[in-house]
Amino acid sequence: MIELMVVVAIIGILAAVAVPSYSQYVIKSNRAAAEAYITSVTSRQVQYALDARQYFCTTATAACTQTQVVTPPSEVAKNYTVSVGADNTLTPPTYSVSATPIGAQLTGDTKCGTVSLDQTGVKGISGTGSVADCW
């Protein structure tokens, strides 16, 4: 009986160490998928600007009248809301692509929060961590 209790205690200790590590790995991999997707959207922005001489956005505003639907892949869509904002009235025009966490990703990734990328390649976060750790 004592041997069984020792085995149960060891399994409990291993589980207490492994589960948080695995959870952080899942959060980090979800964030990496979102970052890869917003990087691909920035490539679309550059191509669109070459063709139309302006950037597109996901919601029409006075500064951005050209809208496009941005449909992230399912692994990104279940954890992030992706939005594209642009200001074509500025010289030169600007844009920013951001991925805002939702659901479990929102509660688990307070270190990085919303990740973003703009037309100059500047990466940003809204969390308490550093850009170097999150990107």
Tens digit of pLDDT for each residue in 2-40? 888 888 888 888 777 767 778 889 999 999 999 999 999
Cα→Cα distances 57→48, 114, 118, Å: 11, 18, 12
Q: Is the peptide bond between 20 and the residue preceding it cis, with omega within 30 degrees of 0?
A: no
- 125 backbone dihedrals φ, ψ, rounded to 5°: -140, 160
Tens digit of pLDDT for each residue in 61-88? 888 888 888 899 999 999 999 999 999 9
Q: What is the pLDDT of residue 64?
A: 86
Q: What is the pLDDT of residue 15?
A: 77
Going from N- to C-terminal start, the domains of the chain cover 2-134
Torsion angle of the four alpha carbons 43, 49, 51, 57, in this order, in degrees rounded to the nearest 10: 90
Instruction: Find, among 124, 118, 52, 125, the residue nearest to 85 by Cα.
Output: 118
Summarize the confidence of residues 108-123 as an average pLDDT: 94
Tens digit of pLDDT for each residue in 31-55? 999 999 999 999 999 999 999 889 9
Gap between the Cα atoms of 85 and 56, Å rounded:
8
Place of tokens 């920013």: 96
Residue 120 burial by Cβ neighbours in a 10 Å radius (0-12, 13-18, 19+): exposed
